[in-house]
A and B are shown apart, each in its own frame.
Chain A
Amino acid sequence: MHNEHSDTHFQTRIDNGEHIEAKDYMPENYRKHLIRQMSQHAHSEVIGMQPEGNWITRAPSLRAKQILLAKIQDEGGHGLYLYSAAETLGVSRVEFIQQLQSGKAKYSSIFNYPALNWADVGAIGWLVDGAAIVNQVSLQRTSYGPYSRAMVRICKEESFHQRQGYEIMAKMMKGTKDQQAMAQDAMNRWWWPALMMFGPHDTDSPHSSDAVKWKIKRETNDELRQKFIDKTIPQAELIGLTVPDDKIKLDEKTGHYKIGPINWDEFYRVIAGNGPCNKQRLDHHIKFHEEGSWVRDAAVAYKQKHSTKELQTV
């Protein structure tokens, strides 16, 4: 079905490092891949507001409360940029939200884990945003123009997220025994899921090859994961946190850390819907979306009334 000539031309543009823009020719599968990936990314930003949001009302200082509010607000803003960027591919935000709520579209599985103590807010910022940044920095060079530009904007804010998370962890590690225990507990629970955020090993990754050819994905899952591991382990050691993996070893020759085996059964179980919070996160989203429907209807009705009124007076 594809116009061979255009596909060849498209690939040449990709190979030349050009950005593809919304109105440019693109193979249907390129579009599909982007729609899936960008909407999943947008949904992740929005669903990701929930675990941290769980601690806003219990934030232990005025400063912490403001930082957390600002951080979550950023994430919602990222959701907005990404929905707009994804809409350039011909799918509306309403449709994206339907796909999320029906389970057809996914979001990052990391948000199916619960935020159980205050240090989880630190661990999420440090590890989850930290992992997301590695991925997003790489995506700044993605081939689709609107996605790439959204990533540039988002990356500017993300480093603050990672820093504030690390600051919380560092503060707690300098604090009382209870605080240290909370921080270590959060570390134990978030470390492995954060590593899983990069997806399956390259040898088992179903989407990678086309995405690499089209330069949607610029680095592989394992390459990105390794970057994250190498930057994070020294940060943990610096503040006295133990990484919950007794197989960690620094390879002196390569300068990279080797880690123990990732529990892929858990990864696939959570993706399949059986994580601790999958149902809770979606139910929450659906509940407040439905409760807000009368507000959205009212806004539309008001707009229509007033635009017709204006038309009548003209």
Chain B
Amino acid sequence: MTKQEAIYKYALRLGDDALILGHRLSELCSRGPILEEDLALTNISLDLIGRTQALFIYAASIEGKGKTEDDLAYRRSENNYGNHLITEQPNGDFAHTIARQLFISSFEYLFYSELEKSKDETLSAIAKKTNKEIKYHMQHASDWTIRLGDGTNESHKRMQNAINDLWMFTGELFEMDEIDAQLLPEGISVDLIPLKTNWNNYIKTVLTEATLKVPEDGYMQTGSRKGIHTENLGHILSEMQYLQRAYPDAKW
């Protein structure tokens, strides 16, 4: 794979992560437990869709086939999507939404802090901008994890369940494939292996304060970077891409 191809795929799948999680959060509009929270979740969704747009514009420009960011979002099928499996998991109850956000945002904070140093100027600039937002997402998810974990018996139980349910999707966040490996010596991609310890420590700190248990590492789900997804993604895309697919000649 040429360097350009590798950067294209790298930017694309980072965009996929943001797009699919942003989509999931957008499903919650008018469905929050309280109006303030409805707005907070919409806000995170907006940040993520904005990040998607920046990454897809960059990916499309590198690919050089005259595609737009919307072609990349709305005209690919699920096995061409590279988002992590955890981003496509259903919102579930509010505890699941928060657990998913906690795992992802704390990972993203570490990841984008490193990507800020990328030798690829565009990726570095996107990372700088997005990391300010991620800090807030991470804080928001951590605060709620603690509140729910240390709230009522019911909220404690629900929060622990959500943590347990989603744990098997966290291993994948630290997987490296040939694209990461190819761009690493160039100083473009992020080495994920060293992030794992910091991530584990952060999660442990939050869960401990939340009076929750850190799950044992069992089997970790994998496959998304190869385009093998859970059944969720197909449904997300069929909804998200509906108008673009039904009216292929239309401009929106």
Contacts and interface: CB of A to CB of B under 8 A. Distances in A.
Sorting the interface of chain B by its residue count into under 10, 10 to 19, 20 to 34 or 35 or more gives: 35 or more
B154 interface: yes
A24 interface: no
Interface in A22-48: 46
Contacts of A305: 150
A251 interface: no
Nearest to A45: B35
Nearest to A284: B30
A295 B34 contact: yes
Contact of A294 (B43, B56, B154, B251): B154
Interface in B208-252: 239-240, 242-244, 247, 249-252
Interface string A60-99: 1111111001101100110110010000000000000000
B238 to A, nearest CB: 10
Interface string B25-52: 0110111111111110011011001101
Given A62-B56, A69-B45, A73-B46, A50 B94 contact: no
Contacts of B147: 298-299, 302
B118 interface: no
B252 A171 contact: yes
A57 B27 contact: yes
B46 A70 contact: yes
Q: Is the interface of A mostly helix, strand, loop or mixed?
A: helix
Given A60-B252, A175-B250, A179-B247, A73 B70 contact: no
Chain A to chain B: the 6 pairs with minimum beta-carbon distance, closest first: A292-B33, A298-B151, A298-B155, A295-B33, A60-B252, A60-B243
Given A69-B26, A297-B152, A302-B147, A64 B252 contact: yes
Contact of A76 (B39, B155, B244): B39
A298 B148 contact: yes
Interface string A289-308: 00111111111011001000
Contacts of B152: 294, 297-298, 301
Interface string A158-191: 0000000000000100011011000000000000
Given A50-B30, A83-B35, 16 more contacts: A60-B74, A60-B243, A61-B244, A61-B252, A62-B73, A66-B53, A69-B29, A72-B30, A175-B251, A176-B249, A292-B37, A295-B94, A295-B148, A299-B147, A301-B151, A301-B155
A76 B38 contact: yes
A67 to B, nearest CB: 10
A295 B38 CA distance: 13
B5 interface: no
